[in-house]
Structures are given as C-alpha cells and as structure tokens.
A and B are shown apart, each in its own frame.
Chain A
Amino acid sequence: MGTGSSSHHHFVLQKAESAFKAAVLIQRWYRRYIARLEMRRRCTWTIFQSIEYSGHQDQVKLHDFFSYLVDHFTPSSQNERNFLSCMFAEERLLKDSEMETYCDYESIEVPDYYTGPHVSFPLLPDHATALVEAFKQKKQLHARYVLNILHEARKYLIQLPNINHISTCYSEEITVCGDLHGQLDDLIFIFYKNGLPSPERSYVFNGDFVDRGKHSIEILMILFAFMLVYPKEFHLNRGNHEDHLVNLRYGFTKEVMHKYKVNGKKILKMLQEVFCWLPLATLIDEKVLIIHGGISDKTDLELLEKLERHKIISTMKYTKKPEKKKAAEESRSISAWFPLKSRSVPSSPLRLSPHKGSRSASIPCTFTPDRKEIFKKVRQSVQLELKEGQQQMDFSEFKDKEPLRFPLESEPNSCDFQGVNQEEWKQVVDILWSDPMPQEGCKANTVRGGGCFFGPNVTEQVLQKYSLQFLIRSHECKQEGYEFCHNRKVLTIFSASNYYEVGSNRGAYVKLGPDLIPHIVQYQANKTTHTLTMRQRISRVEESALKALREKLFAHSSSLLAAFKSYDLDGSNFITLNDWSVAMESVLHLGLPWRVLRPQLVTHTINNMLEYKSWLNDLAKEQVSHENIQSSLLEVLYRNRSNLETIFRIIDSDHSGLISFDEFRQIWKLFSSHMNVDITDESICDMARSIDFNKDGNIDINEFLEAFRLVEQSYLEDKDSELKGSETNESSCSGQGVH
C-alpha cells in the first residue's frame, strides 16, 4: 500500500467532505433568504388585510354619522330640510308599468357606426359566446342591449326560488366560482381553462360579480347571457355587492355612468330591479350549500326559502322606529317637502307619494351593543380611508348602514310596498355578510358591520340540522384562491386573482362531481407574474402594500407627531425605535408588526434613534398636494375622502357628478361637526370656492376627488401599461399559471 493511494484516498474524502459542507452552507443561506421573503410576503398580506379592516370601521363611522344626523340634527332652514330629505329619500322598486316607461330600451336606437356585439332574443348560445369574444376584444355592449338583457334576466330570475336546488346527475360536474369583482380576465380565463358553460358543464357563480374591477358590467352581461341560454345549468347567487348602495361606493355605479353616459341612469335603476331577484343560495344534491358570505347560529333555511327576497333591495338598509314624538313630527314635515329636491329618476308622480315604502322599523339586535361601542370609538379617534380610485387596493368590504329610513308613517302595514320583517332581513344579511372564524361560537361581525363571525360548532350545527355535507362560500380573499376551515366543512372559494395587487394572490374554482368531492383549480390571470421570480413578485406586491400604508400614515400625520412628541421627553427631536413602534400602533390601531416592518418604513436612523419630524416630512412629500387647499385641511379631507365621496354620490342623485357649492358646504359642515373636526365656516367656504374650478357654483365631485388621485392614477396606469404591454397580442388565457 503506497502512501500515494492512501493520500489520494484522503484527498478524495476531504474533497467529498468539503463538497458536502459547501452544499450545506449554500442551502442554509438560501433557505434563510427564502424565509425572509416569506416573512415579507406574510407582512404584506397583513398590511392589506388590516387596512381593509380599518376601512370597515370607517364605514361604520359613516353609518354613525347618519344616525347622528337623525338623532341630533334639526334642520333649521328649507335648504337643510331639502338636504336631509335628499339624503334619506326612499328608494323602492318600480312597478311593472313604471318599468316599461322608465327602463324602456326599445326606443333606444343602435347607430350604424356601432361596432360592438348585437344581441337578439331569444338568446342563443352563439350570442353568449359572441359576447365573450367581443369583450375580449375590448368592445362595449350598446346600452339598448344591456337593458334588454337586464329585462330578460329579471323576467327569468323572478320565477326562481330563493334557494336553487340543483343536481349532479344532469351534468356530471358542477363548477363553482367565487368573487370576480369586475375582473374580466379571470372570468375569461376560467372559461378558457374549464370550458364554456354548456348542458354538460354546469356553473354556479357565488356572488360579488361587480365593484372594484373595471369590467363589472361586461361580467354581468356574460353571466346573465349564459344564464338565459342555459337556465338549467347556469346559476347565480347574490353577493353583498349585488346592491346599489354598495355599488355607489365601490365603483360599479361609477363604471356604468362612465361607460353609458346617456343611458347610465336607466341601467342603474334596472340593475336594482335585477339584483334583488338574484337567488340567495344554491344547494347541490341537497348536500352542499353554496352561499356568498356564510351562516349564523340562527340560520333557518326554511325561513330563507319562504321570504320575499326581492323586497330586500339592499342589505344595508334598515329602519328605525321613531323614539320620540318629535322625530315623528319632523319626519312628517320632511315628507311634505320631499318633492322639492328633484331627482332624475321618474320626474313622475311617483315622487309625490311619499307614503310608499314605509317600513316597520327596528334595529337588528346583534348590532345594537356594537353600535354604542363603535359610536364611542368614533368620537375618540380619527379613522382613515384608503383612496377610492385604486380599485385594486380598496377592498373594504363593509356594512355601511345607509341612511335611516325616515318612517313616513307609523303603521307598517299601511302601504302596498312592504319590506321584509326584521328577522327575515337578518337571515339574508347573515347569508351575505358572515365570515367563518376559528373559535367556537357566533358573534357579531363588527369588522364588516353586519352578519356574524361563525365558529366550527355553528357550522356543525347547521350542517347537521339540514343533513348537509359541507358549505361553499366566498366573500373573503385568500392567497391561494381557496381555503378550507372548520375541519374541511367550510370551503372558501375566491376567483379574483391578483385582487390586492398583481401577484398578491391566486384565484381558484372548485369542481364537484356526483361524489361531491371538491377538486380545486388555481390560476393567476396575469402573464407577467410568471416571468418574475418569487422575489420580484413579492417585491412588487410589497411595494404596493407599503405605498398604501404610507398613505395612511400621512393621513395621520398630526396624531403621529403628537404621539412622537410625547416620547421625546428631552425635546431632542429624536425617539427610540421602540417608542416609534409603540406610538405607531397607538395612533393607527392596525395591529401590524411594526418592528418587523420598521426597516421598510424607516430608513434613516442615527444610533438607533429616529428624527421623527423629518421622517413625517418625507412621508408628506410622497403624497400629492393641491396648492389651492391648505395643508391642514388637506390632511383631514384626505382622511375622509371615501366617506365624503359616498355622501356626495348619494346627494348627487342624478349622477351628474355635480353638486352645488351649498350642498358641499353643508355636507362638510355636518360631517366635520360630527367628527369633532375643528374647521371654521370661512375655511369651508374658501375650500369650496377653490375646488369650484370653473367658478360656476357647482363642484364636480370627480374633479375634487381627482386631486387626491393624480399620483395613484398615473402609478396605476404605468403599471397597467407595463403589464398590458406583454398582453396586447394574446389573450391572457395562455395556459400558464394553472396548478
């Protein structure tokens, strides 16, 4: 045995050892890198969710604002009375005769130069497919056809039961899809990947077709078209966004008015008539219940089957009993003035009969205790709303209790149009708004302001009561597009991919065969994400979340400054990072991991201390500013932007986008007094004047809100064009991204 071979042996052994060690080192390092990415991804998700939930609280505030008005505000002038009556005006369904007159479409001419799809009845499968193709090519459906389809859809929906019972024996597989929220790309992708609806291919779409995305109307048209063509195989459930009051806030109303400038109002009115007739639930083989939101411990399917679903025009409405005689008197005097504020919707006799639509009044019991709590909180803290325009990020699902109905009469039975009773109303609210929670029990959903959080025991109870196997619901965005909970008895399915931001989440749909075993298919309808590495994807979404977060921080600048100052005991203008973390949470109440996020939010520190004033200044510089508006007002306005917008849109009853100078002042005055914001009348006037850009006494809401949207708009557009660049010549339905 020569030394040569043993040293060679030794050398080989050493080499093998070092290769092993080197490999371990690289693997160790890499796994840490991935872990950090994962942490960032989780934090990003947490940011989006916490901003979303804090947005909900803001909606609750809006509700409280309206309650406050009802309880405390005494109109002192004709103007104010009109204003109030406008805010609290009754909305109701049209009678058939009214519908013929008002929502007539036959008189609408389709011009020769129209290049979009044509639709005729009876609708054929080819028409529906043609619609999909046309929308893929960015065509817009003519208003006449939109209304036509809506009329036919309504006629069909009216004869459906509240709960659709369907069976897997007719078509072998049923595909259930969740929220689409106006994201046409996802719908097109689903049809591409899974196949178009047909007698052999059943679909159930579980609500929330509209709002937020830019193609809500197109999605509706496709869904209704297929529903009319394949009535036995194509089913729709109502979601909480199939509701004109929610649409006012979340973009569908805006989309319709923008795309259909002449006939938009008709379409909006007709939509109300259609939404309220959507079924509430679908039951497969009597075993799988599909509802949009969830259930509660009071869920009663028999009651749900029997109630008159169309009478719930909006799940956000409820009515209140007049507690004092004074209020009742006032209400009567208001009703007398009712017709003075004209509305676009029938300038007909309808408006002169204010006695219609009186409802029996009561506040849903689950909400009462929370209301007091929230009302208190509202008085104490300033809440924040993300900017509205960035539809992809403003996902605040909320239960916005809309203006309280002024009880125009005290006897609920005195009119021919009656709402449902309180119990029935609550049943429907629960179905459309509830969320599952991991803990046992059932408690009010204070995050959304309506419906409840239901625990695994509630699920078990309801499943057993009706001999069901499991529930399918939607309503909540999930990173993987789906999520099982409650011991796999509840499946959340969410079909809007990239919901918060490109790359934020997958979409998914679920297929059920006769064995009722769910098969999930995931996707992400954006090619660009697949060319990015994980780090790039996460970075992009993270950037988005941080931007949203920084906006929120900016909007709280004054409170933050005050909090920081309280930690700066020696007046050095420096605070520790620990104090920074504590201060942030104390002001924002977002429950975010501030210490984990700190490196992303605070980049310059000296000796682990932060010079907070310049940090706040840097935040402000990033945000848009409008020279005409003073900066302190700007901050307050900015913070309340979304609420103000909603109020504006309610006031702007003819959807013209204009409100009068006076109206603006009044709104602002009322709102700011409720919010305990200190603003003089003069400042309001100045502000209103400066916003009245063309000095005609009218304020263009859109222009006003535009001031806050400029930066984000261009940011979004850049993103959009960046992404569209890779999609222009191909449909986004390439087979990529399917798992």
Chain B
Amino acid sequence: MLLDCSHGLDEWKSTTFFSEAGLLELQKKIKEAFEVFDHEANDTVDVREIGTIIRSLGCCPSEGELHDLIAEVEEEEPTGYIRLEKFLPMMVKVLSERRYRPIPEDLLLQAFEVLDSAKEGFLTKEELVKYMTEEGEPFTEEEMEEMLSAALDPETNTIQYRDYLAMMVIDEN
C-alpha cells in the first residue's frame, strides 16, 4: 500500500514507503507496544501512558506535539482512554512520515552549551534546575530529581554535561 505520491519533495524524501508486509509488521510492532499498557486487555490504554508508548516506538515529540497527537486520537468526549483502533493508523502515519525524529547527539551538546553561558563546560546545579523547571516545557519536581540523580556530580555539585551525555548515549545503545 503505497502512500499518496502527491506530497511535496521534502515530505517525499522523509517518508518511508512500506511494502504490504512491511506495513503489516509495523502495525504489529505498534500493537505490541500498545498492549504492554493495555491492562484490561480491551484494546484501550490510559491517555497518560500514550506519551510513553509513542516515545518508546522511536519518536521524540515535545510535550506540545504530544498533546496535538493525543488530541487527534482522543474520543470526541474524552474518556481518559485511547482506543487502539484510533491510535494505530495515527501511529503508522507518524512513523512512516518519520516525524519527531530523535535528537542527534551533537545538537544536544549544543543545547547544553547554549545554557552554559559562562562556557565552562559544566552547569551548576542551580543553573540546570532553573532552566529545566522554568524554561521550555518545564520539568515536574519528580522529573528534575530523577535527572539530577544521574547527572549531578555530588562532589562538585555540577553537571559535567559532556560526560553525562556520553554516558546516556552508551545507555541507549
């Protein structure tokens, strides 16, 4: 089942075409991830877990983008649950259009460097907390604490972000 060929060139480039088998496989993959959170075995998932599912499938949307996605698949009268039959086609589209790709390592490093106004190669705990909890799409207290637990070097009370990133990248792989 080929996708509509009338997309613009950029989209064309970034769209993955699937063979019938490939599409089927993609659907199975999405369904599996969905089912991990389908506690009542009735093809529904709590809306609060949708972000986890989408991200675990390889996408890296911002919170704002995530909200948009959820709005697309929610019921007209939001029930707090998302149904697989709505989620699946949306997710197929997202994945085949390669939307919300993960962030390359060098870009991440640049981001830290931007925040590191003194250009010292590290961020103080206060700086990181300020940025993460006041800027962008702020972290909750829990998220902040969790990030600090791994990122903070307790001896210097700083975040050596190069090392931190290097460690995280290894983790991922």
A34→B168 CA distance, assembly (Å): 11
B136 and A594: CB pair below 8 A? no
B168 to chain A, nearest CB (A): 7
A39 and B111: CB pair below 8 A? no
Contact of A19 among B32, B33, B108, B114 (CB under 8 A): B114
Contact of B28 among A21, A26, A578 (CB under 8 A): A578
A28→B100 CA distance, assembly (Å): 10
Chain A residues contacting B115 (CB-CB under 8 Å) are: 19, 22-23, 26
The verdict on B120 contacting chain A, using a C-beta distance below 8 Å, is no
Chain B residues contacting A439 (CB-CB under 8 Å) are: 40
A34 to chain B, nearest CB (A): 7
Closest to A33 in B: B168
A31 and B135: CB pair below 8 A? no
The verdict on B85 contacting chain A, using a C-beta distance below 8 Å, is no
A596 and B32: CB pair below 8 A? yes
The verdict on A660 contacting chain B, using a C-beta distance below 8 Å, is no
B36 and A42: CB pair below 8 A? yes
A14→B61 CA distance, assembly (Å): 23
The verdict on A331 contacting chain B, using a C-beta distance below 8 Å, is no
A19 to chain B, nearest CB (A): 6
* Residues 332-356 of A at the B interface (beta carbon under 8 Å): none
B171 and A535: CB pair below 8 A? yes
Give the A-binding residues of B (Cβ under 8 A).
21, 25, 28-29, 32-33, 35-37, 39-40, 42, 51-56, 59-63, 102-103, 107-108, 110-112, 114-115, 131-132, 135-139, 143, 146-147, 149-150, 168, 171-172
A27→B51 CA distance, assembly (Å): 14
25 A–B contact pairs at CB < 8 A? A20-B135, A22-B110, A22-B136, A23-B111, A24-B135, A25-B103, A26-B108, A26-B111, A26-B136, A27-B63, A27-B132, A27-B138, A28-B62, A29-B60, A30-B139, A32-B55, A34-B146, A35-B56, A38-B52, A46-B36, A438-B40, A534-B149, A535-B150, A535-B171, A581-B28
Q: Which of B28, B32, B112 neighbours the largest number of chain A CB atoms within 10 Å of its CB?
A: B32
The verdict on A593 contacting chain B, using a C-beta distance below 8 Å, is yes
A43 and B36: CB pair below 8 A? yes
A23 and B131: CB pair below 8 A? yes
Given contacts A31-B63, A534-B149, contact A23 B136 (CB under 8 A): yes
B165 to chain A, nearest CB (A): 9
Chain B residues contacting A534 (CB-CB under 8 Å) are: 146, 149-150
Given contacts A31-B51, A31-B63, A32-B102, contact A533 B150 (CB under 8 A): yes
Chain A residues contacting B35 (CB-CB under 8 Å) are: 593
Closest to A24 in B: B136
A31→B103 CA distance, assembly (Å): 12
B108 and A31: CB pair below 8 A? no
A268 to chain B, nearest CB (A): 40
Closest to A536 in B: B150
A593→B28 CA distance, assembly (Å): 10
Closest to A45 in B: B36
Chain A residues contacting B107 (CB-CB under 8 Å) are: 25
A39 and B137: CB pair below 8 A? no
A596→B35 CA distance, assembly (Å): 11
A213 to chain B, nearest CB (A): 28
A655→B87 CA distance, assembly (Å): 57
A24-B62, A30-B143, A533-B150 given. 11 additional CB < 8 A pairs? A24-B135, A26-B108, A26-B112, A26-B131, A31-B51, A32-B59, A32-B60, A534-B149, A535-B150, A578-B25, A594-B32
B105 to chain A, nearest CB (A): 10
Given contacts A23-B131, A25-B103, A27-B137, contact A39 B108 (CB under 8 A): no
Chain A residues contacting B28 (CB-CB under 8 Å) are: 578, 581, 595
Chain B residues contacting A593 (CB-CB under 8 Å) are: 32-33, 35-36
A438→B43 CA distance, assembly (Å): 13
B173 to chain A, nearest CB (A): 10
The verdict on A36 contacting chain B, using a C-beta distance below 8 Å, is yes
A581→B55 CA distance, assembly (Å): 21
Contact of B114 among A18, A39, A43, A46 (CB under 8 A): A18
Chain A residues contacting B172 (CB-CB under 8 Å) are: 33, 36
Given contacts A24-B137, A578-B25, contact A39 B102 (CB under 8 A): no
Closest to A539 in B: B171
Chain B residues contacting A33 (CB-CB under 8 Å) are: 168, 171-172
Chain A residues contacting B25 (CB-CB under 8 Å) are: 578
A19→B117 CA distance, assembly (Å): 10
Contact with B along A123-135 (1 / 0, CB 8 A): 0000000000000
Q: Which of A22, A26, A593 neighbours the largest number of chain B CB atoms within 10 Å of its CB?
A: A26
A33→B29 CA distance, assembly (Å): 19
A25 and B111: CB pair below 8 A? yes
B146 and A595: CB pair below 8 A? no
Chain B residues contacting A35 (CB-CB under 8 Å) are: 51-56
Chain A residues contacting B60 (CB-CB under 8 Å) are: 28-29, 32
A419→B2 CA distance, assembly (Å): 69
A594→B171 CA distance, assembly (Å): 21
Given contacts A26-B108, A28-B60, A35-B55, contact A19 B147 (CB under 8 A): no
A529 to chain B, nearest CB (A): 12
Closest to B145 in A: A534
* Residues 26-84 of A at the B interface (beta carbon under 8 Å): 26-36, 38-39, 42-43, 46
A172→B125 CA distance, assembly (Å): 45
B39 and A438: CB pair below 8 A? yes
Chain A residues contacting B171 (CB-CB under 8 Å) are: 33, 535
Chain B residues contacting A25 (CB-CB under 8 Å) are: 103, 107-108, 111, 136
B36 and A28: CB pair below 8 A? no
Chain A residues contacting B135 (CB-CB under 8 Å) are: 19-20, 23-24
A241→B8 CA distance, assembly (Å): 66
Chain B residues contacting A38 (CB-CB under 8 Å) are: 52, 56
Chain B residues contacting A42 (CB-CB under 8 Å) are: 36-37
A23 and B33: CB pair below 8 A? no
Chain A residues contacting B132 (CB-CB under 8 Å) are: 23, 26-27
Chain A residues contacting B137 (CB-CB under 8 Å) are: 23-24, 27-28
A736→B99 CA distance, assembly (Å): 42
A43→B33 CA distance, assembly (Å): 9
Closest to A42 in B: B36
